[in-house]
Amino acid sequence: MLVVMKANATEAEIENVVAVLRENRNKPERLPGHTRVAIGVMGNKEYVRQDDILRLPGVAEVIEVTKKYKRVSREFHPQDTLVKVGQAVFGAGQPVMIAGPCSVESEEQVLSTAHMLKSEGVHILRGGIFKPRTSPYFFQGIGYAGLKHLQKARAETGLPICVEIMATEDIDLYKDEVDMIQVGARNMQNFDLLKKLARIQTPVLLKRGHAAYLEEFLMAAEYLLDGGNHNVVLCERGIRTFETSSRNTLDLNSVALMRTLTHLPVIVDPSHAAGRHDMVPPLARAAIATGVHGLIVETHPNPSKALSDANQQLDFDQFRDLMRQIRHLAAALPDLYSPEAIAHA
Ligand code: PEP
Ligand code: MN
């Protein structure tokens, strides 16, 4: 339940509503808004009649929050949430670009990629150091040594770094060493990991599981918000459907739906959705046309030699061409992207 106070409600009126809700065994929580205060009531059981609350002085309306993911829902929080990573802000009018190799392989690979990305106006450098691979015999990542390469690239270019976390034991390290923590598709419902990431404030890039319903995805995000971390960016990266002709199926339906269901920023990963490099530009363009808040794209100096996801990584020329297309497309969509934000990208 959400109790929306009138814009001119006094502090005493707000406190009175909170007190009445508490008396009735609810757990009210103040949610300050731009123009007026709202009071959220968490939990599935509410012990108070809506009509009784509506009658209290200063109350404008009482809204039943029907969604299971309350804090993530737009009903609870109508304004868009902005998430800041370095200088980039997801949800602030320009598509935020995250790019880099699937896996960190060597210092040289990461540095050359980072410099190319920086000169192309990319905002965040990505790279996996522990890789979630389907087979234990596939390349597993170079581990902590990879973090040093990413940090060197950050020092040289100023690009913040986004790194996938696999183990809860790494949270203490990541929270200070990484600018954005990726929770991959395979860990979307690792509730222990989510609960622990909820206790820190480092922004989380939460990817949708390849077999997760949209509601399950949003409830996974609810774990993060409910535990206190509101810096969450959602990522659609393709789901499994009956269609097997490409790696996954990019679910743009859900991307469009999420704009109405949630206040959190939503980005798209065309690389894992497609599984092949030639499909990345068209899927990226389609995502931008829906108004996504950003993209995450894999790129490698020599994709055919990549130790993971070789088929889907763009080489540098292909990546530059994609950036040119994205810039033009975003500039042609002033209803979705603010021209001033793009000019300063
Ligand atoms: C990745 O980003 O390299 C990755 C493993 O992504 P996903 O979790 O979406 O498969
Ligand atoms: Mn990958």
184-202 per-position pLDDT tens digit: 999 999 999 999 999 999 9
Verify that 277 and 325 share a domain, yes or no: yes
**Shared-domain flag, residues 209 and 278:** yes
| Residue 180 contacts residue 124 (beta carbons within 8 Å) | yes
| pLDDT tops 80 at residue 339 | no
Residue 342 has pLDDT above 70, yes or no: no
Please report whether residue 70 resides in a domain. no
How far CA 213 is from CA of 2, 236, 251, 292, in Å, comes to 26, 11, 11, 19
What confidence score (pLDDT) does residue 111 get?
Answer: 98
Is the same domain home to 112 and 13?
A: no
267 alpha carbon – ligand 1 mean position (Å): 14
168, 22: one domain: no
Same domain for 29 and 152? no
| Among 30, 89, 72, residue whose Cα is nearest residue 263 | 72
pLDDT at position 95 over 70: yes
pLDDT at 41: 87
Q: Is the CB of 128 under 6 A from ligand 1?
A: yes
Residues 28 and 166 in one domain: no
Pocket-testing residue among 166, 272, 295, ligand 1, by greatest number of atoms within 8 A of Cβ: 272
Q: Residue 158: which pLDDT band, with cuts at 50, 70 and 90? A: very high
Tell whether ligand 1 has an atom less than 6 A from the beta carbon of residue 132.
yes
Q: What backbone phi and psi angles, to 5 degrees, belong to 172?
A: -60, -40
Let me know: does 37 contact 31? Beta carbons within 8 Å: yes
Last residue of a domain, one of 33, 63, 93: 63
Distance 96 CA to ligand 2 centre (A): 19
Q: What is the value of pTM for the model shown?
A: 0.92
- pLDDT of 23 reads 87
SS3 83: strand
The answer to whether position 142 is within a domain reads yes
Note whether residue 71 is domain-resident: no
What's the CATH code of the domain at 25? 3.30.70.1140
88 located within any domain: yes
Residue 344: what pLDDT? 53
Atom in ligand 1 nearest the alpha carbon of residue 308: 3
- Inside any domain, residue 297: yes
Looking at residue 4, what is its pLDDT? 94
Please indicate, yes or no, whether residues 165 and 274 belong to a single structural domain of this protein.
Answer: yes
Separation of CA 49 and ligand 1 centre (Å): 46
* First-residue to last-residue Cα distance in the chain: 40
CA 244 from chain centre, in angstroms, equals 26
pLDDT above 70 coverage of the chain, percent: 97
Six-digit token string for 264: 């959190």
Instruction: Say if 30 falls within a structural domain.
Output: yes
pLDDT, tens digit (0-9, with 9 covering 90-100), for 234-287 = 999 999 999 999 999 999 999 999 999 999 999 999 999 999 999 999 999 999
Can you read off the two tokens belonging to residue 93?
Answer: 């009018």
Task: For ligand 1, atom 1, name the residue with the nearest CA.
Answer: 102
Residues 125 and 58 both lie in one domain: no
Structural domain boundaries enclosing 334: 83-343
Hey, what are 142's tokens? 């170079």
Give me the chain's average pLDDT, please: 95
The CB of 300 under 6 Å from ligand 1? The reply is no
Residues 182 and 329 in one domain: yes
Instruction: Establish whether residue 270 lines the binding site of ligand 1, counting it when its CB lies within 6 angstroms of any ligand atom.
Output: no
Ligand 2 centroid, distance to 72 Cα (angstroms): 27
Q: Is residue 262 part of a domain?
A: yes
The pLDDT of residue 66: 80
Task: Convert the pLDDT of each residue in 32-89 to its tens digit.
Answer: 777 889 999 876 555 778 889 999 999 999 988 888 899 999 988 889 999 999 999 9
Is 234 in the same domain as 113?
yes
227 and 173 in a common domain: yes
Instruction: Give me the number of domains the chain comprises.
Output: 2
Residue 257 in domain: yes
Relative to the CA of 237, which ligand 1 atom is closest?
Answer: 9
Same domain, 168 and 212: yes
